[in-house]
Amino acid sequence: MTDRLTVFDTTLRDGEQAPGFSMTIDEKLRLAAQLDELGVDVIEAGFPITSDDDAEAVRRIAAAVRRPVIAALARCARGDIERAGRSLAPAARPRIHTFIATSDLHLERKLRITRDACLAAAVDAVRLARRYTDDVQFSAEDATRSEMDFLCRVIEAVIDAGATTVNLPDTVGYSTPDEIAAFFTTIRTRVSGADRITFSAHCHDDLGLAVANSIAAIQAGARQVECTINGIGERAGNASLEEIVMATHVRRDRLPVETGVVTRAICATSQLLTAVTGEPVQANKAIVGRNAFAHEAGIHQDGMLKDRRTYEIMRPEDVGVRTTMVLGKHSGRHAVQKRAEELGYTLTRFELDRAYRRMIAIADRQKHVSDAELQAIIETLQAEERAAAREVETKAAITLIDHGQAEYGYGHGV
């Protein structure tokens, strides 16, 4: 049986906190509308207590975007929760997301409070949030580095207080997939009331394991995953939405969950984020990088032309792009022939060989050869062939004339 996975997008909150990714209210509204088109289940619109602009952005998104749940972040503090509640007032489906750190490192060195004070703050925050909405999410910051017995006590207490989702973040991207799987399995087994709530994973990418850890959490029973477009976020970023979603599509045999994401809108959403923030996506980024469905090596291009499944495990049109055959110094003749046909040219074997050699010569100097440059190569070759043909015709005509003159004496005077 296939379970439903809730996709919680935090691009506008955790993603926007990263240096270089801040957005205006209008830009957030544009992106929220696109996230709605993408089909995410939850949009975390901001952290209202941080600024008047953030509070206003949450309020305007809550008023304008009606289908998904709109969440606002709040510390386990009365002022935070009250402001989040006011900002979410226009929402059709509001969620308050309240959090406090539970690891001894954070309690002792950052918050400077005891475990008992942490537990009391978490319970009070969830109860207060329930006055504004029935949909309350609690996050135990730095959960994966927290002492297990204490963490389970906190989770049980917030469930009893009315939390409907419990998020267990790998806040600093410290864990490995096997640890995450054991972590979620243990908590779901030990916590009383675990069957009444949704467990959520929120993984960071400090060791490049955010997506792998999120997948491990899903396999261990988490049914909400927190992620961002292009994997943006604090430090090395968050788990990438597009990678998690497409993993569930491609490897349904290992991940028997369904999402509501409209995958064809993935690349358009990625491109909008890039346009809004001015921060490009690395070329080799999975799913949305410009090279994700591009092929230059001749062996790969030959395989792709015969059956694209040889080198593509998903259909590019499923994420809103198309396969690109890049012409470069590693390309083969088959790729040149295919691209020429797409441009409207039919080449003989002789023409193909000459066009290929000229393309390689250009690629050695500038890496890639554009369609316009290939067209110029072909047009030049064909012009040379026409000129050569005319020259042959001219020489033949001259030879014929000379032969006639010699035989009949034309042109020798009277």
DSSP assignments along 104-167, one per residue:
HHIIIIII---HHHHHHHHHHHHHHHTTT-S-EEEEEETGGGS-HHHHHHHHHHHHHHT-SEEE
Phi, psi of 228 (to 5 degrees): -135, 155
Model pLDDT, residue 409: 54
Model pLDDT, residue 403: 64
Is the confidence at residue 410, as pLDDT, over 70?
Answer: no
Model pLDDT, residue 401: 67
Average pLDDT of the chain is 93
Residue 3 φ/ψ region, left for φ over 0, alpha for ψ in the -120 to 50 degree band, beta for the rest:
beta
The 3-class SS string of 325-349 reads ECEECCCCHHHHHHHHHHCCCCCCH
Residue type at 360? I
| pLDDT band at residue 366 using 50, 70 and 90 as cut-offs | confident
Model pLDDT, residue 414: 38
Query: Taking residues 78-102, what's their average pLDDT?
Result: 98
Rounded to whole angstroms, the Cα distance separating 285 from 377 reads: 32
Count the Cβ atoms, other than its own, within 10 Å of residue 158: 29
Six-digit token string for 35: 């996230």
- The H-or-E segment that residue 324 falls in is strand 324-325
Asked which of 320-334, 340-354, 394-408 is least confident by mean pLDDT, the reply is: 394-408
Is the confidence at residue 374, as pLDDT, over 70?
Answer: yes
| pLDDT band at residue 88 using 50, 70 and 90 as cut-offs | very high
Is the confidence at residue 315, as pLDDT, over 80?
Answer: yes
Of 285, 249, 288, the closest CA to residue 267 belongs to: 288
Query: Taking residues 295-318, what's their average pLDDT?
Result: 88
* Model confidence pLDDT, tens digit, residues 202-251: 999 999 999 999 999 999 999 999 999 999 999 999 999 999 999 999 99
Is the confidence at residue 412, as pLDDT, over 70?
Answer: no
Residue 97 φ/ψ region, left for φ over 0, alpha for ψ in the -120 to 50 degree band, beta for the rest:
beta
- Tell me how many degrees the CA angle 139-56-90 measures, rounded to the nearest 5: 80
13-52 burial, b at 16+ Cβ within 10 Å, e below that, comes to bbbbbbeebebebebbbbbbebbbebbbbbbbbbbbbeee
Is the confidence at residue 71, as pLDDT, over 80?
Answer: yes
Is the confidence at residue 138, as pLDDT, over 70?
Answer: yes
Query: Taking residues 307-319, what's their average pLDDT?
Result: 92
Residue listed under structure tokens 């935090």: 10
Instruction: With H, G, I as helix, E, B as strand and everything else as coil, classify residue 98.
Output: strand
| pLDDT band at residue 413 using 50, 70 and 90 as cut-offs | very low
- Chain centroid offset of residue 99 CA: 26
Query: DSSP for 274-313?
Result: HHHH--PPPTT-TTTSTTTTEE-SHHHHHHHHH-GGGT-S
Count the Cβ atoms, other than its own, within 10 Å of residue 344: 8
Model pLDDT, residue 9: 98
Is the confidence at residue 299, as pLDDT, over 50?
Answer: yes
Is the confidence at residue 141, as pLDDT, over 60?
Answer: yes
Rounded to whole angstroms, the Cα distance separating 3 from 252 reads: 11
Residue 142 φ/ψ region, left for φ over 0, alpha for ψ in the -120 to 50 degree band, beta for the rest:
left
Model pLDDT, residue 402: 66
Model pLDDT, residue 389: 81
Residue type at 149? D
- Chain centroid offset of residue 239 CA: 9
Model pLDDT, residue 404: 61
- Chain centroid offset of residue 343 CA: 31
Asked which of 48-57, 157-166, 317-326 is least confident by mean pLDDT, the reply is: 317-326
Model pLDDT, residue 406: 58
Model pLDDT, residue 370: 86
Q: Is 403 exposed, middle or buried (0-12, 13-18, 19+ CB in 10 A)?
A: exposed
Q: Percent of the chain having pLDDT more than 90?
A: 74
Of 24, 20, 21, the closest CA to residue 10 belongs to: 21
Query: Taking residues 366-389, what's their average pLDDT?
Result: 87
List CB contacts of 385: < 8 A, sequence separation 6 or more: 351
Query: Taking residues 279-283, what's their average pLDDT?
Result: 94
Of 137, 128, 119, 17, the closest CA to residue 83 belongs to: 128
User: What does the radius of gyration of the chain's CA atoms come to, in whole angstroms?
Assistant: 31
The sign of the CA dihedral 396, 401, 407, 412 is negative
Rounded to whole angstroms, the Cα distance separating 300 from 306 reads: 10
| pLDDT band at residue 385 using 50, 70 and 90 as cut-offs | confident
Model pLDDT, residue 405: 62
| pLDDT band at residue 393 using 50, 70 and 90 as cut-offs | confident
